[in-house]
Amino acid sequence: MSATIADTIYDSLSQQIITGALTAGEKLRQDHIARAFDTSHVPVREALLRLQAHGLAKSEPRRGMRVTALDPVEMREVIEMRVALEPLALQYAVQNLTPVALARAEEARLACDAAETMPEWEARNRAFHRAILTPCGLPRLLRTIDDLHIASARYLFAHWRPKWEQRVDSDHAALMQAMQKKDTAGAVAILVRHIRRAS
């Protein structure tokens, strides 16, 4: 499926919000965004509604659409939801693993370890988590987890960016080893520890 202009606008704005380039409370002006992307207001509105649905923006009476603030209470909820839902997806994923799916996940793991900047690492980290969970074959669950990863990413940038350094992720490597052995319980335990450690 080819990307639409609304997809392009959403991807650009969401990445700017996640990385902190667009800060909490900043106004998202439809006319400015439409000019920047050389488009009409229709795809801009669609992109803004998607940002709102993902909790990255909110519409305020008489103030327009603005970037949402980081909320520690919401972050705790996001972590607890990830701890509940990602192991569920992983259990099904391990049962459905194929050599091709394992190879894709390993490729995503190596790409994540090779990232040279935090924005690059964050996008590749999400891609790795998506790769290990995709074999579960539960699209609605995966969409919910994708949304939770977007929410988590903002907090990762806010709190870890000054301390980030390139490194090999030992949790990712351990996850891959457990999955290769079809050790579901071991993989789930590593994933839960990994999510909590990141928070």
Give yes or no: residues 80 and 55 share one domain.
no
Residue 78 has pLDDT above 50, yes or no: yes
| 163-178 average pLDDT score | 91
Instruction: Look up the domain containing 78 and give its range.
Output: 72-198
Give yes or no: residues 59 and 157 share one domain.
no
pLDDT tier, 54 (very low <50, low <70, confident <90, very high otherwise): confident
Residue 3 has pLDDT above 80, yes or no: no
Residue 26 has pLDDT above 60, yes or no: yes
- Which of 167 and 89 is assigned the larger pLDDT? 89
- The Cα 109–Cα 24 span in angstroms is 31
| 22-48 average pLDDT score | 94
Where does the chain have alpha helices with state H? 5-19, 30-36, 41-53, 72-95, 99-114, 118-133, 139-160, 170-180, 184-198
Q: Please answer whether residues 181 and 99 qualify as being in contact, where contact means their C-beta atoms are separated by less than 8 angstroms.
A: no
- The Cα 13–Cα 17 span in angstroms is 6
Give yes or no: residues 182 and 141 share one domain.
yes
Give yes or no: residues 34 and 121 share one domain.
no
Residue 62 has pLDDT above 60, yes or no: yes
Residue entry with tokens 């939770």: 148
Q: Please answer whether residues 128 and 105 qualify as being in contact, where contact means their C-beta atoms are separated by less than 8 angstroms.
A: yes
Give yes or no: residues 140 and 190 share one domain.
yes
Q: Please answer whether residues 33 and 51 qualify as being in contact, where contact means their C-beta atoms are separated by less than 8 angstroms.
A: no
